[in-house]
Structure 1
Amino acid sequence: MSILSEVLSNVKKRDPYEPEFHQAVEEVFESLEPVAKMHPEWVEAGVFQRIVEPERQIFFRVPWIDDNGKVQVNRGMRVQFNSAIGPYKGGLRFHPSVYPGIIKFLGFEQIFKNSLTGLPMGGGKGGSDFDPKGKSDREVMRFCQSFMLELSRHIGADTDVPAGDIGVGKREIGYMFGMYKKIKNEFTGVLTGKGLNYGGSLVRTQATGYGVCYFMEEALNNIKNKSFNDSIVVVSGSGNVAIYAAEKASQLGGKVVAMSDSKGYIYDSQGINLETMKKIKEVGRKRINEYLKYHPEAVYTEGSSNIWSVKCDIALPCATQNELDENAAKTLIENGCFAVGEGANMPCTPEAVHLFIKKNLVFAPGKASNAGGVATSGLEMSQNSMRYSWTFEEVDSKLKEIMKDIFKNTHETAKKYGFENNLVAGANIAGFVKVASAMYDQGIAY
C-alpha cells in the first residue's frame, strides 16, 4: 500500500460518516503520487498525514429567538484547516445540509484554492444548519448576532477571516460584522464580502462568476483554440456565482440559454435575460419560475438536475456539490459539449470528472476555476489593511490577471508532472506543493 493510500484509508476509518470529505481528499490524492516520489522528505515529515487533519475544529450552539418569541437552537462550526501560508480564509455557509463533513470538505478544498491564488491565505470554512430562507430580517439578524457572539472568540484579521457562502450574503455579513465590532470594539478587516459603505471591495459580488469565465477563456484559447464567442452556455444555479458567470459569459460573446434553482430550471432559446434574473433572485429572492411572468416564451421544467439535458457547448455548474453526475456528463458529451468549468465547490461527481478527462473536454476544477471569489476577498483584505480602496476597473483587472496566472500555473504544472492538459491534476499538485513546502519549512510541530 502506498503512503497516499494508507493516509486515505485512515481518513475513512477516522471519519467514516463524512463522504464529502473522503471524496475531496481522494480527488486531490489521486494526483499526488508523483509528488510523493519526488519529495521523500515530505513523506518522512508526515506532511501528507498532517494536511488531511484540521489544525482546529470549533463546534458551538447558537440559540436565538424567532419572531413568535420562541427559542430556537442551531449548530455553529468553524474548521480552521491549515495556516501554513497565511491566516485561515474561507466562507461561512448557512444551510440545513451543513454538518462537519461538508465543512471539512469545503475547508480542505479551500487550502489549495487559496494557495493557487498566489495570495498569503490559509484554508478554513464554517457555517451553521440555520436556513435563512423564509426568515424575517430580524430573525436573521438575531441568529447572526448569536452566531458571532461565539465565533468572535476564534477569528481576527490576522488569524481567521471568514467570508460568505451559500446562505450568507451582504445582509448576513453586515449583521455579523456589526456584532463583531461591538464585542471587540475595533474596526478591522475580520470579514470579507462587506458592504461598500463599510470596507467592502468592488467586484466582490461578481468575482467568483467572473473568475470562472476568465479562467475558462484562457483554458479554451490555450487547449482548444476556442472561446465563449458564439458558444451556447448552460449555467446551473441562480445565486451570485451563477448570475455573474452568466453575465461575463454573455459579455465574452456566449449565449446563456438555461439557469436553475433547487426546484427546476428555465430554458430561454433567445438567451436568459439577466436583468430579469437579477430582479427575481437578488431583489425579490423568489423562485426561478417567476421568470415566466416576464418572458412567457421561455420554458420552465421541474427538477434542477435535468438542466444538463439542454444542448450546449460550455457547461458551468454553479449550484452545489455533486450536482452533475456520470449520466449528466454522458448527456452533455453526446450533445456536443466541449468544456465544463466548475463555479461551485465540487459540483461534478468523480465519475463525471473522469469521463470529461477521458473524452478530452476542457475541464476546469473548482479549486482553480472558482478561486476568483476568494482572490477578491484577499484583495479586500489588502484594501482594509491599507485603509484604501481600488476602483472597479482596478480590482477587475487584478482579478483577471490572477485567474490567468492560476490557469498558467495549473497548465504548466500538469505538463511538468506528466498530466498534460489535465487541469485537475495540475491544480491539485500546484496548490499542494506550495502548502506542503511551507509546512515542511515550519517543522513537525506545525
Structure 2
Amino acid sequence: MSYVDEVLATVQQKDASQPEFIQAVSEVLESLRPVIEANEAKFRKEALLERIVEPDRQIMFRVPWVDDQGQMQVNRGFRVQFNNAIGPYKGGLRFRNNVNLGIIKFLGFEQIFKNSLTGLPIGGGKGGSDFDPKGKSDREIMAFCQSFMTELSKHIGADVDVPAGDIGVGGREIGYLFGQYKRIRGLYEGVLTGKGLEFGGSLVRTEATGYGLLYLTREMLRCNGKDIAGKTVVISGAGNVAIYAAQKAMQLGAKVVTMSDSTGWIYDPDGIDLEAIKEIKEVKRLRLSEYVTYRPNSQYTEGGNVWSVPCDVALPCATQNELDLDDAKALVANGCFAVAEGANMPTTLDATAYLQENGVLFAPGKAANAGGVATSALEMTQNSERLSWTFEEVDAKLESIMVAIFHKMDEASKRYGMEGNYVAGANIAGFEKVASAMIAQGM
C-alpha cells in the first residue's frame, strides 16, 4: 500500500464521523501523489503526512448565554489550531447551526494550504460555533460573543492565533469579540481581523474575498486566451463574498445574472441590481425573495440552485458541496467554460472531476478565495506597524497576491506534468512550502 493510501485509510478510520474533513484530506492527498511518491522515503521517515492531517490541537468548549427572555442558552464553541509551521494560526470563525468539529477541521485543513499560497507568514486554523445569529437581537449576539470570547481568549493572541470572520460573523460580531478580548486580557493588539476601521481594521477587507476571486479568475482566463469582459456570470450566495464578487465582475465588464440565499435564488436577465441586493441583505437583512419588488422583470425560485442558468463563468460563493455532479453536467451542457470557487469546497469531488474532464477551467477555493485571508494578513501587518494604508494601496497588494497565486498553481501543475489541473497545482504549491518548513523545524 502506498504512503498516501495508508494515511487516507488511517484518517477514514479515526475520523469516520467527519465526512467533510475526510473529503478535504482525500482531495488534497490524492492530488499530491506525484510529489509524495517522488519524496516517499523522506516523508515517511518524517511522518510528514500523519503530522499534517492531525491538528496541533482541537479546542471545544461550552458557551452559555442569556437570551432576551431571560432564558439561559448553551452552545458549543470550537477552535482548531491546525498548523503553524509558517506563521501564527489564521482562519475565520463560523457561527451557523450546522457547525461541528468535522466541518471546522475541514476548513482548518484547507486553510493551511490557502494561507501558504498567499506567500504571507500565516498558518492554518479555524473556529466557530453552532450558534446561529439569524433572528437574534444585537443584545443576544453581544451576550453570546462575550461568552464565546471569554473562553477563546485563553488560546489566541496576535502572535499565536488570529481569528477572523466567516459565515455568520461580520463586523458586528468581530466588534463584540474584540471588545471582550481587550476587556479580559488588557491588551490592545491585532488579535482579530475584520475589525472596524475605527479600531484597527483595514480598508478592502469587506470586499477582499469577492474582489480577490475576480482578480484570480480574470488572470486564469487571460492566460487561457479569454477575457471576462462581456461574459455572462452566475453567482450563488448573497453574502459578503457573493456581493463583492458581483461588484468586481461588473466593474470588469461582465454581466451577473443570478444570486441566491438559503431559501431560493433570483435570475435577472438584465443583470443584477447590486444596490437592491445590498439594501435587502446588508441593510434590511431580508430574504432574497424581496428582490422582485425592486426588479419586476426578474424571477425568484424557491429552493434549488442557480447552476441551470446558461453562463460563461460560474462562481459558487455560498457554502460547501453546493455544486454537485448533476449541476456540473448542466453547466457544461450550457456552455460554461470556467468555474472559480468563492466559498470553501463548494464543488463536490465528482463534480470537480467532471468539469475538468470536460475542459472547464477550474480554480479551487484554496486559491480562488484566498483574498480574504490575504487581506486579513495585510490588516495584521498594519496593526503591527500601527499604520493604516489607503484603499488603493491595499487593493493593489490584493490584486498582486491573487495574480501570483494563479501563477504558483499554474507553474506547479506544469512542473508535475498536470498542466491546467489547477486543483493539483494549488495543493502542490501550498504543500511544498509547509512541508519544507515542517521538516526544517523538526518534530
Is the deviation greater in 280-289 or in 71-80?
Answer: 280-289
| Paired amino acid for 2:179 | G
**What's 2:403 paired with?**
404
**What's 1:30 paired with?**
30
| Paired amino acid for 1:37 | E
**What's 1:249 paired with?**
249
Deviation at 1:393, TM superposition (A): 0.3
Query: Per the alignment, in what secondary structure is the counterpart of residue 81 of structure 2?
Result: strand
TM-score (norm 1): 0.99
**What's 2:111 paired with?**
110
Query: Per the alignment, in what secondary structure is the counterpart of residue 63 of structure 2?
Result: strand
| Paired amino acid for 2:331 | L
Q: Does 1:177 align with 2:178?
A: yes
1:2-401 equivalence runs, <5 A: 2-39=2-39, 40-223=41-224, 225-305=225-305, 307-401=306-400
Q: What RMSD over aligned residues (CA atoms) do the two structures have, in Å? A: 0.6
Deviation at 1:399, TM superposition (A): 0.1
TM-score (norm 2): 0.99
Deviation at 1:382, TM superposition (A): 0.2
Query: Per the alignment, in what secondary structure is the counterpart of residue 308 of structure 1?
Result: coil
Residues 182/28 of structure 1: CA separation in 2 closer, same or farther (3 Å cut): same
Q: Does 1:434 align with 2:401?
A: no
Q: Residues of 1 paired with 2:31 and 2:245: CA distance?
A: 28
Deviation at 1:144, TM superposition (A): 0.1
| Paired amino acid for 1:237 | G
Query: Per the alignment, in what secondary structure is the counterpart of residue 30 of structure 1?
Result: helix
Cα deviation 1:81-128 (Å, max 9, x = unaligned): 000000000000000010000000000000000000000000000000
Size of the aligned set, in residue pairs, is 442
Cα deviation 1:393-435 (Å, max 9, x = unaligned): 0000000000000001110010001110110000000000100
Is the deviation greater in 37-46 or in 283-292?
Answer: 37-46
Q: Residues of 2 paired with 1:422 and 1:214: CA distance?
A: 19
Cα deviation 1:7-47 (Å, max 9, x = unaligned): 01100100111000000000001111111122231221011
Query: Per the alignment, in what secondary structure is the counterpart of residue 134 of structure 2?
Result: coil
Q: Is the 8 A contact 1:107 1:123 kept in 2?
A: yes
| Paired amino acid for 2:114 | K
Query: Per the alignment, in what secondary structure is the counterpart of residue 223 of structure 2?
Result: helix
Gaps of 5+ in 2: none
| Paired amino acid for 2:11 | V
Q: Residues of 1 paired with 2:251 and 2:30: CA distance?
A: 36
| Paired amino acid for 1:47 | L
Gaps of 5+ in 1: none
Deviation at 1:292, TM superposition (A): 1.0
Query: Per the alignment, in what secondary structure is the counterpart of residue 286 of structure 1?
Result: coil
Q: Is the 8 A contact 1:262 1:304 kept in 2?
A: no
Q: Residues of 2 paired with 1:273 and 1:2: CA distance?
A: 52
Q: Residues of 1 paired with 2:285 and 2:128: CA distance?
A: 21
Deviation at 1:135, TM superposition (A): 0.2
| Paired amino acid for 1:336 | G
Query: Per the alignment, in what secondary structure is the counterpart of residue 166 of structure 1?
Result: coil
Query: Per the alignment, in what secondary structure is the counterpart of residue 269 of structure 1?
Result: coil
Q: Is the 8 A contact 1:260 1:304 kept in 2?
A: no
Q: Is the 8 A contact 1:93 1:164 kept in 2?
A: yes
Q: Residues of 2 paired with 1:431 and 1:322: CA distance?
A: 22
Q: Residues of 2 paired with 1:182 and 1:422: CA distance?
A: 48
Q: Residues of 2 paired with 1:267 and 1:352: CA distance?
A: 23
| Paired amino acid for 2:174 | I
Percent of aligned positions that are identical: 66
Query: Per the alignment, in what secondary structure is the counterpart of residue 407 of structure 1?
Result: helix
Cα deviation 1:184-223 (Å, max 9, x = unaligned): 1111000000001100000000000000100000000112
